[in-house]
Structure 1
Amino acid sequence: MTRFAIVGTGWRAEYFWRLAAALDGLDCAGVVSRAPKDLPVPVHVSLDECLAAAKPDFVVTAVPWAVTPSLVAALVERGVRVLAETPPAPDLDGLRALWAAVGASGLVQVAEQYTRMPAHAARLALVRSGTIGAPTRADVSSTHQYHAVSLIRALLGVGRGPVEVRAVRTVAPLADPLSRAGWADPVEVRDTTTTIATITFAGGGFGVYDFTDNQWHNQLLNRRLLVRGTHGELRDDEVVRLAADRTIVRTPLVRRQTGYDLDLDGFDTDHVTCGADVLYRNPYQGQRWNDEEIAIATLLQDTAAWAAGDGPPPYPLADGIEDHRVALAVEESADTDRVARVAAEPWH
Structure 2
Amino acid sequence: MGSKKRRRKYVEYEWIAPCHFGMEAVCKKEITDLGYEIVHVEDGKVTFRGGPEAACRANIFLRTAERVLLKVGSFRAETFDDLFEGTKALPWEEFIPADGKFWVAKAASIKSKLFSPSDIQSIMKKAMVERLKQKYKVSWFPECGAQFPLRVTLMKDIVTVGLDTSGVSLHKRGYRKLISKAPITETLAAALIMLTPWKADRILVDPFCGSGTFPIEAAMMAANMAPGLNRSFLAEGWKQVCDKKLWYQAVEEASDLVDDTVSVDIQGYDIDGAMVKAARENAKLAGVDHMIHFQQRPVSALSHPKKYGFLIMNPPYGERIEDKEALPELYREIGERFAALDSWSAFMITSYEDAEKYMGRKADRNRKIYNGMMKTYFYQFLGPKPPRRNA
TM-score of the two chains, using structure 1 as the length reference: 0.26
Higher helix share: 2
Structure possessing the higher relative contact order (Cα contacts under 8 Å, 6 or more residues apart)? 1
TM-score of the two chains, using structure 2 as the length reference: 0.24
Larger Rg: 2
